[in-house]
Amino acid sequence: MQKRILITGAAGFLGSHLCDRFIKEGYYVIAMDNLITGDLKNIEHLFKLEDFEFCHHDITKFIHVPGQLDYILHFASPASPIDYLKIPIQTLKVGSLGTHNLLGLAKEKNARILIASTSEIYGDPLVHPQTEDYFGNVNTIGPRGVYDEAKRFQESITMAYHTFHGLETRIVRIFNTYGPRMRLNDGRVIPAFIGQALRGEDLTVFGDGTQTRSFCYVSDQIEGIYRLLLSDYHLPVNIGNPHEITIGDFAEEIMRLTNTKQKVIYKDLPQNDPLQRQPDITLAKKILGWEPKIDRAEGMKITLDYFKSLPEEELFKKEHKDFGKHIIK
Ligand code: UDP
């Protein structure tokens, strides 16, 4: 019988790529999103399919899904530092109340649930590269606390449902991932630099540019998540690309790639911005037989082509997404 999967955050960057993947694998996909940060453009190509339905819903409210459910993928959350600064309370609620509702739904339906956690649970890490057994270094009351602590709570409640209710749970810790369908103005470094380069603006490096990140191309990330869902491993697993680069070097790389004549300008480093980040993926290699296949040169080329293909007004629409009524003062 055809498997049915619920994907939350389905209109977002990773959620939409997961919809594509599970449709391709022959699943019936129920895509859920409240569209605060997501965009229907990312999934509109799926609307005509019989095996796909969209449900406009805020998962912090009770969730009703008729019929059988075999799997749940929980990818609903603001995920860029600017987003969660603008909507901190929704960020806390979706990771806590939203996750609780989904765990209850999974229990009711006897479904396996995979939740999207993040390298942010390691905070500004004192262990490098980050292994799954590192507990992290998070400032609970800093600007990133709303995201980091929501995700840490999400892991805890998921484990509690696993041990107390015997629920089948999976936890992926996602490291910086990029590719087509990232929001151009979400403030994250890859769309920010590409947007600046394409508009002919200077590239804004925060701090002195010595902080590091390790960027994973989206198709590799989706493959890791897919394998983890179908594995029998219930503890957290890092999925990311271990190839680390400083943000300063990365800005130079983007300027070369886009033939940009502008320069780099330096701005203040945001509070609690992690100074280094690189996943240790030994565990993922061992239990999932997974490692990234797409290097940055290849992934960035595809991503750059995607951003170049956007209508010009998108590129010059510089204001951050207007969250309107969703912003609670
Ligand atoms: N960053 C930057 N310039 C920008 C946007 C981001 O130098 O215009 C830096 C940011 O301070 C961080 C890194 O790039 O050190 C990655 O930021 P991003 O927001 O993509 O994600 P994070 O990994 O911090 O969650």
For ligand 1, say whether the CB of 176 is within 6 Å of any of its atoms. yes
Q: What pTM does this model have?
A: 0.96
DSSP string, 43-62: TGGGTT-TTEEEEE--TTS-
Cis upstream peptide for 129 (omega within 30°): yes
- Helices 247-258 and 189-199 pack at an angle, to 10 degrees, of 40
Single-letter amino acid, residue 99: T
For strand 4-8 and strand 28-33, is the pairing parallel, antiparallel, or unpaired?
A: parallel
For ligand 1, say whether the CB of 204 is within 6 Å of any of its atoms. yes
Nearest CA to ligand 1 atom 1: 189
252: Cα separation from own chain's centroid: 25
Q: Which of the residues are catalytic?
A: 147
Domains of the chain: 4-320 (3.40.50.720)
d(CA 243, CA 290): 15
Nearest CA to ligand 1 atom 4: 189
Q: Which of 91, 144, 173, 188 to mutate to test ligand 1, by most ligand atoms within 8 A of the CB atom?
A: 188
For ligand 1, say whether the CB of 151 is within 6 Å of any of its atoms. no
Single-letter amino acid, residue 107: K
Q: How many angstroms separate the alpha carbon of residue 14 from the centre of ligand 1?
A: 18
Nearest CA to ligand 1 atom 18: 188
Where are the alpha helices (H) located in 173-295, listed in sequence order?
A: 189-199, 218-230, 247-258, 282-288
What local confidence, expressed as pLDDT, does residue 319 receive? 58
Where are the alpha helices (H) located in 200-272, listed in sequence order?
A: 218-230, 247-258
For ligand 1, say whether the CB of 273 is within 6 Å of any of its atoms. yes
What is the residue-level pLDDT of the chain in tens, covering all 329 positions? Answer: 999 999 999 999 999 999 999 999 999 999 999 999 999 999 999 999 999 999 999 999 999 999 999 999 999 999 999 998 999 999 999 999 999 999 999 999 999 999 999 999 999 999 999 999 999 999 999 999 999 999 999 999 999 999 999 999 999 999 999 999 999 989 999 999 999 999 999 999 999 999 999 999 999 999 999 999 999 999 999 999 999 999 999 999 999 999 988 899 999 999 999 999 999 999 999 999 999 999 999 999 999 999 999 998 888 886 566 665 555 43
For ligand 1, say whether the CB of 196 is within 6 Å of any of its atoms. no
What local confidence, expressed as pLDDT, does residue 260 receive? 87
